[in-house]
Structure 1
Amino acid sequence: MITTISNSRLTASIKHAGAELFSIKDNQNKEYIWEGNPDFWGKHSPVLFPIVGTLKNNTYTINGKEYQLPRHGFARDMEFELTEKTENKAIFSLQSSDETLKKYPFAFELQLIYTLNENALEIAYNVINKSDEKMPFSIGAHPAIALPENFENYAFEFEKEEILKYYLLENDLISNQTKILETKNNLVPLNYELFKNDALIFKALESNSLTILESSKPYIKVDFEDFPSLGIWTKENAPFVCIEPWLGYSDTLENSGDLYKKEGILILDENKTFTSKFSITIL
């Protein structure tokens, strides 16, 4: 099933499967989200929950008991329920179940709230701990922005001038090796060589937003003030780039496996709600 919301400027469409955004079009019918061609990558904008990235051996422990979770968790592969819909807003819900409890032993509700406001789409996450113990979790976004021109015609402009230190992956885990993303006049010109070692992983940034320039003109802006970490990723010759606001990231090589002690993890008290949001603005 698909739900569509709209205003005078934009139309956004969301699949109930994974509550996944798969289209943002302007009133000229121009598409801004990657089409999901499986020759490159068959997704559009999956939600990452209850982990972001990869666990060591895809395994973790809670109170000494071992569990397994796939990369980026399970929410992106599950059917969400549409619980509220207006012309420019839609709320989707995923509740814990016998199936999820086998992988993640906590009662929870995950809500995704999509709201169109003028030329921006806001995506909010509510994580509700319905269990009787503290709940460790991560959550993140993975929107793929369509780049219709040649990849080299695009550049990143971070909100603030800063040293852009990113971590390299080793077998999908965060290594201790870092590099600096070079800027030119505060811009990062795009080329596929940047991604030869997979995603660029920023554990912490001063910038709260990133603007993609197309042929030196502002194209799309992603605001992520609530998210301290960021991933940026594409595949060789793919006409998209993913700007991924994260709360959490893959295990480090030294990780113990205890989810409560995982670097970057969030701990939510019993019967509490955690809220975060980011936005995609068409420029």
Structure 2
Amino acid sequence: MTSDCILTNDHLSLSVATIGAEMQFLRTADGRDLLWHGDATFWTGRAPVLFPIVGRAPDDTIAVGAHHANMPQHGFARRSPFAIETQTPTMCRHVLRADAATRAVYPFEFTLRLTHALSGPTVSVTAEVENLSDQPMPFGFGFHPAFLWPLPGATDQTHMIKLPATANPKQRPLRPDGLLEPDLVPGPFQAGTLPLSEALFEEGALVFPDGTPSLLRYGSKDGPNLSFTFDNLPDIALWKPKQAPFLCIEPWHGTAALHGAGPQIADRPNSTTLQPGTQETFGYSVTVAL
């Protein structure tokens, strides 16, 4: 995957590819990598963008009204060619517009803009979805970045996810078919803290819908860490393949379909429906402390 946009400042460097507007590397000024590098041994992704669905649809079939189409997990944006709209040394904006291929499966006129920017030790990623159609447009949106586990400088240290101390979000179990169980169950957080281990991911991703706090910290207790803020992304998932040296921290607005539900995008949990001529923004930032 060829990178076409490289951003740098005194703290970080960041590369973003045309395909999927996907981050290719995030690196400290002294050359330490923070982002997974896409080795197919575990997973070829690095930081895909999820649109117009998050997760899987029943039988990989979505519907909008009477329109039905095949759509694989996480939608088509992650494999679509974006164009560079704006670029500076510390910011680039990519855009994806509806075309014949997208209309065949998703019958809307839309634009999806992805902006990546560096400011000090912080990278921010912002998405703007605009409905240019003459009818309401349902969709899900999410980010899927994979960060190294362990982080640089913390090889022998236990890693954890920390939320605000009062946050113990409930979990919606993920089924083997990629759909979600309808009922929520108690989650593994205790007083906002989740020590990370291989055993947590034996059944796949951990999905925490609704009410997820807007702040999250990933890393060792008193050492290297990444601090996240989320904007308009109420759902979050954590995922890693078996023995993979990375952790995906995935903020979403929308989730996979529920088991037993139909294919309508509008019926999926936390789907967004944009009225004609309107837009909505989603974003997250990561501050590096190594």
TM-score, length-normalised on structure 1?
0.95
Would you say 1:228 and 2:239 are equivalent positions? Answer: no
Greater fraction strand = 1
Query: Of residues 182, 188, 195 in structure 2, which corresponds to 1:189?
Result: 195
**1:30 match:** 32
1:43 alignment partner AA = G
CA distance in 1, matches of 2:218, 2:203: 21
Would you say 1:156 and 2:164 are equivalent positions? Answer: no
SS at match of 2:181: strand
Q: State the shift of 1:281 in Å.
A: 1.2
CA distance in 1, matches of 2:33, 2:216: 19
SS at match of 1:180: coil
Written as runs of structure 1 = structure 2, the 5 A alignment for 1:57-68 is 57-68=59-70
Would you say 1:147 and 2:149 are equivalent positions? Answer: yes
**1:257 match:** 263
**1:4 match:** 6
Query: Of residues 187, 198, 202 in structure 1, which corresponds to 2:208?
Result: 202
- Deviates most, 214-223 or 4-13: 214-223
2:265 alignment partner AA = L
Instruction: Give the count of matched residue pairs.
Output: 283
CA distance in 2, matches of 1:151, 1:145: 17
CA distance in 2, matches of 1:177, 1:261: 16
Alpha-carbon deviations, 1:212-258, whole Å to 9, x = none? 12264241112113210001100111110000000000000132222
Q: Aligned-pair RMSD on alpha carbons?
A: 1.7
SS at match of 1:61: strand
Query: Of residues 283, 286, 289 in structure 2, which corresponds to 1:280?
Result: 286
1:162 alignment partner AA = A
Percent identity (aligned) = 27
Structure 1 spans left out of the alignment, 5+ residues: none
* Contact 2:232–2:282 (CA under 8 A) maintained in structure 1: yes
- Name the CA shift for 1:111/1:262 in 2 (closer, same or farther; >3 Å): same
Written as runs of structure 1 = structure 2, the 5 A alignment for 1:79-158 is 79-148=81-150, 153-158=158-163
CA distance in 2, matches of 1:177, 1:217: 37
CA distance in 2, matches of 1:41, 1:125: 24
Alpha-carbon deviations, 1:63-108, whole Å to 9, x = none? 2221121100000001110111001000001111001111100011
TM-score, length-normalised on structure 2?
0.93
1:144 alignment partner AA = A
Structure 2 spans left out of the alignment, 5+ residues: none
CA distance in 2, matches of 1:186, 1:261: 30
Q: State the shift of 1:152 in Å.
A: 6.7
Would you say 1:214 and 2:216 are equivalent positions? Answer: no
* Contact 1:209–1:225 (CA under 8 A) maintained in structure 2: no
**1:167 match:** 172
- Name the CA shift for 1:248/1:184 in 2 (closer, same or farther; >3 Å): closer
* Contact 1:151–1:191 (CA under 8 A) maintained in structure 2: no
* Contact 1:144–1:243 (CA under 8 A) maintained in structure 2: yes
- Name the CA shift for 1:151/1:198 in 2 (closer, same or farther; >3 Å): farther
Query: Of residues 14, 29, 35 in structure 1, which corresponds to 2:16?
Result: 14
CA distance in 2, matches of 1:185, 1:266: 31
